[in-house]
Amino acid sequence: MTDILNEKGISEFSKTSFQPEFVLNTSLSDAKLIYLVEQDRIFIKFTLQKTYVTSESFEQTDYRYPIVLYFDLPNQCMEIRYDAIKYTDSFDSEIYEKLVVSCIDWTKKELGLSLYTCEHTDAIKIVNDKQNEDVKMYKQMMQMSSGGAAELTAAESSDYVLPFIGEIRELIDENEDLFNEAPEIKQLLTQYLNDKEATASYPYIYVKWVKPVESQSYIVKITFDYLNRRYTLLQHITGGCKDLGMERMNDAIKYLCESGSFAKGEKI
């Protein structure tokens, strides 16, 4: 990929020779780019000029708005990283959708890459695997087939067991001998839980990476089918985490890809 970037005249970032641009473009297609290579990862950075009106003076203020395309080469994963845009009276409700689509179009056209959606069918099952002690389901939104909905948050004091479904499954596991004496009741409860999980939809989940030191733990919110285009949105929830580097999200993406939580979907 670096050969393509160099052919396009995109400069590689260097700490010793980097000079910031003071005149910026407002559109993705006209922005001057730089890229950075770190081992088997590539970052391509766009820096745009945005404006907003301050609430105190009502004056128009310009600010730099970076967009980063992150490529995890071993896992063949691409992520578009962007921040919230400051609100203005002319704020476009579809601005993030347009941003994502523009980045995808640029990647396909300029880099010649084939892109695919992120398939997440097994994500919840894999994250909930009890053998994984370091990654826990922290919260999930369940929309029931009956029309009801509930956001379930795990209790950290009880090994991140989700209320209702998780607690009932734990009750069955902890009283296995008792339930084995009444197999029909056990089967009825298990079937009920399986049906509820199978027929429910999950708009989003929160996954927690549990570290020995709580200040190093972090949470990532995963929103499925973002923008109605089957994109997947990841948001880092700072919480009590003191480490504000980007390595946490890189590690999260690596886990989600290598564990099978994310897989190759349909071609975009």
**Domain spans of the chain?**
2-114, 123-267
Predicted local confidence at residue 155, as pLDDT: 74
Predicted local confidence at residue 244, as pLDDT: 58
Report the distance separating Cα 91 and Cα 101, nearest Å.
Answer: 18
CB 37 within 8 A of CB 11: no
CB 28 within 8 A of CB 103: yes
The number of C-alpha atoms within 13 Å of 17 and in the hemisphere containing its C-beta is: 5
Pairing of strands 41-53, 60-72: antiparallel
Residue 217, φ and ψ in degrees, nearest 5: -75, 155
Three-point CA angle 205, 137, 118, nearest 5°: 45
Output the CA torsion sign for 268, 28, 254, 248: negative
Q: Using alpha carbons, list the distances in angstroms from residue 175 to 156, 159, 172.
A: 22, 18, 5
CB 204 within 8 A of CB 221: yes
| Residue pLDDT tens, the chain, 268 long | 888 888 888 888 877 666 666 667 777 778 888 999 988 899 999 988 888 777 666 778 888 889 999 999 999 999 999 988 887 666 677 888 889 999 999 999 999 999 999 999 899 889 888 677 789 888 889 888 778 888 888 877 656 777 777 788 888 888 988 988 888 888 888 888 888 777 778 899 999 998 888 878 889 999 998 887 778 999 888 666 555 567 888 889 999 999 999 999 999 8
Distance of alpha carbon 206 from its chain centroid, rounded? 10
